């Protein structure tokens, strides 16, 4: 059985070598080691231990992706998957979640509605995303509900965004990666699996729960003035993250990259994506439909 001290050693090693802001890894290590030395983690169960370490990590560095995670369901602890194995494992998850698409509807007033809970990799999700866009293609306005979206793939975000612009010359986002010391640009795709949704209003619903890739989708379309955001300020996680299992039940999540929006020059880390029209999450759809009806 892996001790809590061994788990801390492994987690801090991964943070030191992988965190996108290397200048912060020293203060992070010092704070965790000080807490460990004073007995701050003694006598805790695994779930409580992970919560305590996460709180201490975020007290030093308020990065919502930087966490020690406990899971009731065991996960395999492997040195490293091959790209093919990792792709296959994610494909199973995407299929189990219907590629993140929970509902597609046509609401009263010929308003399309998409309930998106997660965002798959573009290659895996292309057919599902195309089918969803086909079903709302002839509506007069579109509501994209991201209130329960927990995140997803940057290239999947780019694929969703591509349906709302006329060509492949729209610069959506940049992501800087520490491991390669390189910045990757994300642009709209020249071809989309579903029909493009142009010259009609798009409204995005947000909640305090909305996170990561869901936030990027909202942020990109808001920055480019292609969508109106209605709801609550989102959670504020803008750093693509590596998930590394330390034991079958405990993993460390390490932000290995950071987003840089080409319009704003920054991102939503720590501050969230702020809506254009504030509303309680449970009232956001009603508010959005009233705004669309008044146009």
> Per the structure, how many domains does the chain have?
2
pLDDT tens profile 12-63: 999 999 999 999 999 999 999 999 999 999 999 999 999 999 999 999 998 9
Assign 214 to helix, strand or coil.
helix
236 touches 216 (CB < 8 A): no
How large is the average pLDDT for residues 90-110?
A: 94
Question: Comparing 62-76, 121-135, 230-244, which segment has the lowest mean pLDDT?
Answer: 62-76
Nearest by Cα to 120 from 163, 151, 143, 141: 151
At residue 90, the 3 state secondary structure works out as: helix
Q: Which two three-digit tokens encode residue 291? A: 């705004």
Query: Is the pLDDT at 78 greater than 70, yes or no?
Result: no
CB-CB contact of 154 with 175 (8 Å): yes
Looking at every residue in the chain, the average pLDDT score rounds to: 94
Report residue 79's pLDDT band, with 50, 70 and 90 as the boundaries.
Answer: low
Domain of residue 188 covers 97-237+272-294
Looking at the structure, tell me whether residues 219 and 113 fall in a common domain.
Answer: yes
Claim to verify: residue 105 and residue 220 sit in the same structural domain = yes
Say what the pLDDT of residue 167 is.
83
Strand partners, 107: 111
In a domain, 263, yes or no: no
Q: Is the pLDDT of residue 137 over 90?
A: yes
At 199-212, the pLDDT tens digits run: 999 999 999 999 99
| CATH number of 69's domain | 3.30.750.44
| Measured distance CA(29)–CA(202) in Å, rounded | 45
Q: What is the pTM of this model?
A: 0.86
In a domain, 276, yes or no: yes
Q: Let me know whether 80 and 208 are in one domain.
A: no
* Pairing of the two strands 228-231 and 277-278: parallel
Q: 202: which strand partners?
A: 142
Residues 6+ apart with CB under 8 A from 253: 65, 66, 67, 69, 241, 242, 243, 244
* 92 compared with 12, residue with greater pLDDT: 12
């Amino acid at each position: 059985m892996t001790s809590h001290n061994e788990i801390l050693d492994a987690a801090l090693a991964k943070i030191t070598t992988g965190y996108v802001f290397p200048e912060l890894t020293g203060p992070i290590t010092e704070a965790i080691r000080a807490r460990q030395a004073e007995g701050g983690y003694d006598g805790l169960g695994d779930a409580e231990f992970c919560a305590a370490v996460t709180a201490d990590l975020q007290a030093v560095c308020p990065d919502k992706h930087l966490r020690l995670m406990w899971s009731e369901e065991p996960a395999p602890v492997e040195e490293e998957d091959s790209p093919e194995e990792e792709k296959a494992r994610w494909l199973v998850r995407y299929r189990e979640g219907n590629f993140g698409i929970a509902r597609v509807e046509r609401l009263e007033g010929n308003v399309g509605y998409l309930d998106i809970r997660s965002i798959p990799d573009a290659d895996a999700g292309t057919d599902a995303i195309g089918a969803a866009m086909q079903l709302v293609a002839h509506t007069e306005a579109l509501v994209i509900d991201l209130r329960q979206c927990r995140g997803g793939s940057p290239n999947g975000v780019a694929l969703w965004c591509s349906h709302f612009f006329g060509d492949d010359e729209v610069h959506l986002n940049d992501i800087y990666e520490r491991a390669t010391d390189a910045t990757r640009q994300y642009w709209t795709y020249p071809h989309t699996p579903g029909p493009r949704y142009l010259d009609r209003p798009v409204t995005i619903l947000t909640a305090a729960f909305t996170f990561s890739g869901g936030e990027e989708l909202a942020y990109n379309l808001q920055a480019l003035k292609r969508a109106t955001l209605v709801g609550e300020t989102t959670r504020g996680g803008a750093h693509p993250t590596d998930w590394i299992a330390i034991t079958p039940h405990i993993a460390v999540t390490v932000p290995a990259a950071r987003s840089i929006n080409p319009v704003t020059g920054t991102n939503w880390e720590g501050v969230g994506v702020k809506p254009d029209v504030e509303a309680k999450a449970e009232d956001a759809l009603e508010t959005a439909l009233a705004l669309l009806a008044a146009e």
